[in-house]
């Protein structure tokens, strides 16, 4: 890269988080109960105190401001705001008001997620999302939108509905630990209905709001040239990458979506597309795996591997963004990041993905911002605290924060609104210094 790559004026730069992963002190949701069961979290760690942002948010946001961030994605914890059916916790509401005001003080645009993998314990006890939770969820949505519409313009209703349904109800590695395709599809349908109603409700309360889902996209490449692998990869791309979007964008008749999800009404319920992108998988036809829709996904093998075992494949972001042009909607990158112990891969990861975003903008994709996953090392669900995705290192024993080199590099990019050739050189130097140490891992992939 030997030219300066300038981003559009007003491009949003920042990072993304989720309440249960960063706050600590969350004892009233399904994840706390799940973590309490032996063997559920790979490294045996817990979310509390973890990053402890419930207490430390002021210093953390001051740091993000210093690091040039102009946007920040966070989620509001439903179980705090509604500890029991129909009961509102005024202290929790006041706390989140202070959190959002603090972001505004630092001129950081909040992007607020309403459901990011966690449910109040009482929702879980009522059958989780296997049953229609719209009444309760919409009550929560109404309350928070009324409370914060003066502070928040960007709302994400639900984070990764298909991933949530898959990990919790098909693969069973997240709560409630079901292993049934039927249950997963029912959950996905209920979540999409909740999204559609939440979309309408938010617009009724705040007409100028910008509302979307955060949708996980993965590049799905056939593992071989065999026609069955190619067909399976194509079908999985349609189902995993496009069925949810097609159902919510109401642009094309979503035939697959209708079939798979018995998609509800055809309404356009996206103002933009929130994209979470991490990796590429190789897809193989697997006749003995009906629960996985007759496919096995394994990590791609061309690029370096993250600590998670995921292939780093920046080109894929360009390809996927180009494929979104059919929806004719603006795009916000709501997550993109890499887990590693140190910080040798991350600078290059950042640069290479930002270059892909820039290339997509040049060919006409309307990308409005980039939110890196994540700001501070945090609790990575079933993997625990070991999986460090942060721009800022957290010492979980003392709570001390240490800015990683990639965060300074990113800060310069955010401030100039541009990538420069010397950023690229610096990232390549770090990558070379790290050698092959970060290229390890493997195993099955959860998309």
Any idea what DSSP says for residue 37? S
The site that binds ligand FCB (CB under 6 A) totals a number of residues, namely 12
Of 99 and 382, the one with the shorter C-beta distance to ligand FCB is 382
Reduced to 3 states (helix: H, G, I; strand: E, B; else coil), residue 224 is: coil
381 makes contact with ligand FCB (CB under 6 A): yes
Alpha helices in 218-285 (DSSP H): 227-236, 244-249, 255-261
Reduced to 3 states (helix: H, G, I; strand: E, B; else coil), residue 444 is: coil
Long-range contacts of range 389-395, CB-CB < 8 Å, 24 or more positions apart? 389/337, 389/338, 389/339, 391/15, 391/67, 391/346, 392/63, 393/343, 394/51
**Choices 51-59, 157-165, 318-326, 402-410 (CB under 6 A): range interacting with ligand FCB:** 157-165
Select from 141, 163, 165, 352 the one that contacts ligand FCB (CB under 6 A).
Answer: 163
160 makes contact with ligand FCB (CB under 6 A): yes
Smallest gap from residue 19 Cβ to ligand FCB (A): 10
Contacts with ligand FCB, 174-213, as mask; x by CB under 6 A: ----------------------------------------
Smallest gap from residue 229 Cβ to ligand FCB (A): 25
For residues 156 and 58, the answer to whether their CB atoms sit within 8 Å is no
Smallest gap from residue 378 Cβ to ligand FCB (A): 9
379 makes contact with ligand FCB (CB under 6 A): no
Beta bridge partners of 401: 394
Q: How many residues does the chain have?
A: 447
159 makes contact with ligand FCB (CB under 6 A): yes
Smallest gap from residue 163 Cβ to ligand FCB (A): 5
Select from 377, 380, 423, 426 the one that contacts ligand FCB (CB under 6 A).
Answer: 380
Neighbours of 425 (CB within 10 A): 13
Tell me which H or E stretch contains 216: strand 210-222
CA distance 253 to 270: 16
Of 338 and 413, the one with the shorter C-beta distance to ligand FCB is 338
- Point out the residue whose Cβ comes nearest to ligand FCB: 18
CA distance 76 to 88: 13
Smallest gap from residue 375 Cβ to ligand FCB (A): 12
Select from 18, 152, 273, 324 the one that contacts ligand FCB (CB under 6 A).
Answer: 18
Neighbours of 55 (CB within 10 A): 14
Is 160 tagged catalytic?
Answer: yes
Alpha helices in 118-254 (DSSP H): 121-125, 134-148, 161-165, 181-205, 227-236, 244-249
23, 160, 380, 426: which is the annotated catalytic residue?
160
Smallest gap from residue 432 Cβ to ligand FCB (A): 26
Of 74 and 247, the one with the shorter C-beta distance to ligand FCB is 74
The tokens for 149 are 């519409």
Query: Which positions lie near ligand FCB, rule CB under 6 A?
Result: 18, 21, 159-160, 163, 216, 276, 335, 373, 380-381, 389
Q: Which positions are catalytic?
A: 160
């Amino acid at each position: 890269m030997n030219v300066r790559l300038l981003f559009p004026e007003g491009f949003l730069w920042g990072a993304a988080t989720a309440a249960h992963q960063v706050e600590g002190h969350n004892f009233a949701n399904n994840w706390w109960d799940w973590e309490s069961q032996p063997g559920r979290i790979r490294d045996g760690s817990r979310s509390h105190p973890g990053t402890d942002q419930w207490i430390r948010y002021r210093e953390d946001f001051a740091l993000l401001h210093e690091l040039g961030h102009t946007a920040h994605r966070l989620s509001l914890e439903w179980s705090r705001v509604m500890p029991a059916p129909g009961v509102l916790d005024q202290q929790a509401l006041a706390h989140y008001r202070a959190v959002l005001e603090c972001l505004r003080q630092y001129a950081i645009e909040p992007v607020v997620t309403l459901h990011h993998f966690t449910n109040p314990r009482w929702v879980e006890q009522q059958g989780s999302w296997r049953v229609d939770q719209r009444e309760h969820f919409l009550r929560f949505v109404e309350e928070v939108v009324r409370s914060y519409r003066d502070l928040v313009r960007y709302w994400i209703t639900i984070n990764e509905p298909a991933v949530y349904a898959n990990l919790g109800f098909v693969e069973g590695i997240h709560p409630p630990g079901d292993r049934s395709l039927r249950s997963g599809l029912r959950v996905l349908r209920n979540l999409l209905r909740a999204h559609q109603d939440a979309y309408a409700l938010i617009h009724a309360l705040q007409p100028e709001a910008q509302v979307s889902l955060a949708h996980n996209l993965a590049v799905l490449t056939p593992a071989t040239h065999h026609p069955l692998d190619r067909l399976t990869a194509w079908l999985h791309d349609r189902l995993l990458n496009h069925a949810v979007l097609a159902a919510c964008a109401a642009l094309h008749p979503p035939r697959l979506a209708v079939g798979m999800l018995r998609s509800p009404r055809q309404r356009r319920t996206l103002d933009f597309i929130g994209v979470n992108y991490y990796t590429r998988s190789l897809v193989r036809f697997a006749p003995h795996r009906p629960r996985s829709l007759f496919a096995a996904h394994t990590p791609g093998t061309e690029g370096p591997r993250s600590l998670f075992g995921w292939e780093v494949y920046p080109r894929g972001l360009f390809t996927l963004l180009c494929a979104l042009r059919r929806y004719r909607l603006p795009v916000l990158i709501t997550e993109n990041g890499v887990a590693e112990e140190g910080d040798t891969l991350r600078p290059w990861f950042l640069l290479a993905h930002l270059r892909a975003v820039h290339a997509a903008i040049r060919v006409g994709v309307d990308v409005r911002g980039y939110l890196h996953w994540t700001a501070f090392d945090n609790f990575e669900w079933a993997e625990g605290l070991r999986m460090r995705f942060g721009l800022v290192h957290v010492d979980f024993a003392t709570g001390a924060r240490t800015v990683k080199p990639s965060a300074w590099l990113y800060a310069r990019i955010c401030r100039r609104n541009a990538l420069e050739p010397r950023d690229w050189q610096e990232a390549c130097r770090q990558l070379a210094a790290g050698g092959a140490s970060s290229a390890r891992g493997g195993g099955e992939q959860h998309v």
